[in-house]
Amino acid sequence: MRSLIFGDHRNRSGRRGPVEPVAEAHLRLVFGQMVLRGDEAAIRIGANTSVQDNAVIHVYEGHDTIIEDHVTVGHGAILEACHVKAGALIGMNAVVLDRATIGHRALVAAGSVVLEEQDIPDGMLAAGAPAKVKRALEGSSKHWLEVGAAAYIRLTKSYLDQGIGGSDVAQTAARKG
């Protein structure tokens, strides 16, 4: 594993130096491995959206996957031919199946399975397998929607400003954010 120096982060000894594996994991949040497979339809990912490590975004014949602006897609999430509206958060290892719609500023809890053609209304928390709408968002779950994507965009800009990761196209897009 390579070491990186990022900002003024300090290693465990308290000295500024190479960032240890815990901090390097944060780098992967922004520039990690993911699968985008749009072989039979289109994948559209909006501005200021964070798609994290090991996420899989897929389509099927004639059915696009659309992820609007300011969305956070958590680690290991799977999205298949669905529509995720602006400001939504898809939790880690959640699955959103064919033709499902996740509403504006809705949250799908970690590990949940949103079934084919299921609609999660705007501003609601959905959880479980299969996912069920639990309640309107409030408290800490609502807070994550307000800060989630913005925090990852800010982190991305910091990495790019230091020349870590990203293509020229990605760097330009992130800086415009």
pLDDT digits (tens, 9 = 90+) for 126-167: 999 999 999 999 988 888 787 877 787 787 778 778 877 655
What's the pLDDT at 32?
Answer: 59
167-173: average pLDDT = 45
Poorest-pLDDT segment among 68-77, 96-105, 164-173 = 164-173
Residue 1 or residue 86, greater confidence = 86
Residue 112 dihedral angles phi and psi, to the nearest 5°: -80, 155
Instruction: Round to whole Å and give the CA distance between 126 and 106.
Output: 8
Q: What is the CATH number of domain 32-176?
A: 2.160.10.10
53-60: average pLDDT = 90
